[in-house]
Amino acid sequence: MRVDKVFDELLVLRCNTGDRKALELLVRRWNKKFISFSYKLVRDLSIAQDVVQESWISIIKGIGGLKEPGKFSTWAYRIVYNKSMDWLRRNKKDLDLNHDLPQDVPEEGDLRNEREQAVRHSLKELPEREKIILSLFYLEGHRVKEISGILGIPEGTVKSRIFYAREHLKKIYQEVYYEKKRGN
């Protein structure tokens, strides 16, 4: 992982010198991750793609001012997060937050067994704030400090939210999984 971070830092530095190939490579390396992250927030693949495209415009405009190129991912995720939240605020009245996730969730594998189904169902039942924090920590692999930067909250709050979200997920999972077992 350290090699990837150094490589990204090099790409950022090269982007600052006007290297278009470095920018193209940076986009190729991060675009799917950003779309997947935005999708978890806006719950619509087409909208997530639009949000990420808008985010790239801001990233490209601001990359020259990035004082610490090694923090590119945290900085860029923060932009994607803000753009996604802006979209949600602008379109709040049009949203139906109770709809089920479609089957073509980006970067998600097929359901292979009933335990995995129970975990996925349990995740859907979590409040948005808990889904986001667990996704950033477990699915995206961000550290507490990075999540703090992305969400703009103190590290202690990140740790606390991860703990409580994990406890809530365990409770929901036990209810879902054991209910299925009793029903069969």
CATH of the domain at 75: 1.10.1740.10
Do 154 and 89 lie in a common domain?
A: no
What string of pLDDT tens digits covers the 184 residues of the chain?
Answer: 578 888 999 999 999 998 999 999 999 999 999 999 999 889 899 999 999 999 999 999 999 999 899 899 999 999 999 999 999 989 876 554 444 444 344 444 443 456 666 667 777 788 888 888 888 888 778 899 999 999 999 999 999 999 999 999 888 888 776 666 566 5
Q: Are residues 114 and 89 in the same domain?
A: no
Q: Name the residue with tokens 């090099």.
A: 10
The answer to whether the predicted template modeling score (pTM) of the entire model surpasses 0.75 is: no
Number of domains in the chain: 2
The domain in which residue 12 lies consists of: 1-93
Nearest to 36 by CA among 95, 105, 100: 105
Whether 39 contacts 108, CB under 8 Å: no
> DSSP assignment, residue 140?
S
